Amino acid sequence: MTTWADMGGRAEFYGRVLHDPDEPAFHADWERRVFGCTVFAAGVLNPTGPDLDSARWAMEQIPREDYLAPYYWRWLRGLELQLEEKHWLQPGEVEARIDGKPGLPGGRRVRKIQTAMASAAMGLILRPTIPRFMAAHLMPRLIGGRRTTMRRPRFKVGDAVRVRPERAAGHTRQPGYTTGKPGTVVGNSGAARFSDARAAGRRSRPQYVYTVAFDGRDLWGEAAEPDTEVRIELFESYLEAR
């Protein structure tokens, strides 16, 4: 399945990159609010670490024109979709608020202690520098996706592999342009939570993630530029031996 978020090598998106080396992080105040609200809400709803897989999947499901609008609009529409699915927002509630109608009765509300805990957790990282042990060990464990596994890796550095011929429906971190293509394992990043499953709310065992190198010619054939290579991290279940 292709989604428009899977953009690598898709000529329909080609065009000039409007590049500004000094571009600021935000261009309008609404962008600031969307960014801050999304980061905060993620902390409240997922005290054990933000669920970026579900957040990305939500963004992949919004209408194409919303996805291609100024960047943080994608975050807002994705956040709204996630909150509706979890019944934090009711359908039509945002429109009613815009129209100045009275709030809809009922609806879920976070306990005050939960909001306060998220605020406290945010306070720990909102500093110019953070203590070394926290940055090196605690934060990656708390918010990162890496997990331990007792299983042995299926592949090792140097193995010739091929990306499986089908791209999963739903959320996946297997780009379309690598699908079915031959590559070589150049690194093992250890095991991590499996994004495809987490985005769908399925439990799943951690999977090894490998860095795979693809020669430009294997990806693009005759059109490839000389002496180019793409390296990308791929979950074990995306790969087959060749």
Partner 1 sequence: MTADDVRAIRVEAVESLLVEKGLVDSAVVDRIVEHYENNVGPLNGAKVVARAWTDPAFRERLLANGTKAVAELGFGGPEGSMIVAIENTPEVHNVVVCTLCSCYPWPVLGLPPTWYKSAEYRSRMVAEPRKLLGEMGLDVPATKKVRVWDSSAEARYLVVPERPAGTEALGAEELASLVSRDSMIGVAVAKEPTP
Residues numbered 126-165 forming contacts with partner 1, rule: CB under 8 A = 126-136, 139-140, 143-146
For 60-88, the three-class secondary structure string (H helix, E strand, C coil) is HHCCHHHHCCCHHHHHHHHHHHHHHHCCC
CA atoms within 13 A on the CB side of 166: 4
CB atoms within 10 A of CB 59: 21
Among 1, 36, 63, 205, binds partner 1 (CB under 8 A): 36
Q: Tell me which H or E stretch contains 162.
A: strand 160-163
DSSP 224: P
Q: Is 222 in the site for partner 1 (CB under 8 A)?
A: no
Q: Is 199 in the site for partner 1 (CB under 8 A)?
A: no
Rounded distance between C-alpha atoms, residue 229 and residue 101, angstroms: 56
Single out the residue of 1, 28, 160, 169 in contact with partner 1 (rule: CB under 8 A).
28
Min. distance of Cβ 198 from partner 1 in angstroms?
Answer: 12
What lies within 8 Å, CB to CB, of 135 at 6+ separation is none
Per CB under 8 A, contacts with partner 1 among 74-133 are: 76, 79-80, 83, 88-89, 93-94, 97-98, 103, 107-112, 114-115, 118-119, 122-123, 125-133
Looking at beta carbons only, is 23 or 152 nearer to partner 1?
A: 23
Minimum Å distance from CB 160 to partner 1?
Answer: 19
Least distance from partner 1 to the Cβ atom of residue 203, Å: 19
Give the three-state DSSP class for 135. Answer: helix
Q: Please select the residue that binds partner 1; options are 17, 102, 150, 158, rule is CB under 8 A.
A: 17
Is the Cβ of residue 132 or residue 152 nearer to partner 1 in the bound state?
132
Task: Give least dist CB 146 to partner 1, A.
Answer: 6
Distance of closest approach, residue 75 Cβ to partner 1, in angstroms: 10
Q: How many CB atoms lie within 10 A of CB 127?
A: 8
Among 1, 10, 157, 166, binds partner 1 (CB under 8 A): 10
Residues 6+ apart with CB under 8 A from 62: 74, 77, 78, 81
Provide the minimum distance between the beta carbon of 241 and partner 1 in the complex, in angstroms, as a whole number: 20
Answer for the pair 186, 157: CB distance below 8 angstroms, yes or no. yes
Can you tell me the distance from the alpha carbon of 155 to that of 205, in angstroms, rounded to the nearest whole number?
17
Map tokens 């000094």 to a residue.
22
Q: Does 44 bind partner 1 (CB under 8 A)?
A: yes
Total chain residues near partner 1 (CB under 8 A):
107
Task: Pick from 45, 117, 168, 200 the residue near partner 1 by CB under 8 A.
Answer: 45
The sign of the torsion formed by the CA atoms of 236, 237, 238, 242 equals: positive
Region from 28-36, 148-156, 162-170, 197-205 binding partner 1, contact rule CB under 8 A: 28-36
